[in-house]
Amino acid sequence: MGGVSGIEVLGAVFAALLGASVGSFLGVALDRVPRGESLGGRSQCVCGAQIAARDNIPVVGYLMRRGRARCCGARIPWWYLAIEVAGAAVGVGVFLVATG
């Protein structure tokens, strides 16, 4: 009956996670490069506090904090979430095309 296998679902989930991670990096690059900042090092809030690893999970971290920084409550720009979601979608799309 041509159903979807568990391996295919797992592959799509992995592709989404990988794509969201690439999107997250691109968001950081879009934010830092124009200001001449390094792409290395830990992420920091606008208040200067280091962002915890648990808050840096693409898409999930943004949604769990409702778009606000844990340390000071500053709003996190919506486009960070949009780039991460777009990256996840591209990752799944590439996976689907590659697996035909």
pLDDT tens digit sequence for 41-84: 888 888 889 989 888 899 999 999 999 999 999 999 999 999 99
Please indicate, yes or no, if residue 1 is contained in any of the structural domains: no
Query: What is the residue range of 94's domain?
Result: 7-99
Tokens of 61: 């971290």
Separation CA 7–CA 24 (nearest Å): 25
pLDDT tens per residue across span 72-89: 999 999 999 999 999 999
pLDDT value, residue 2: 62
In a domain, 81, yes or no: yes
pLDDT at residue 18 greater than cutoff 70: yes
**Domain-located, residue 83:** yes
Surface-to-core class of residue 26, CB atoms within 10 Å of its CB (0-12 exposed, 13-18 middle, 19+ buried): middle
Structural domain includes residue 66: yes
Domain count, the chain: 1
Q: Is residue 2 part of a domain?
A: no
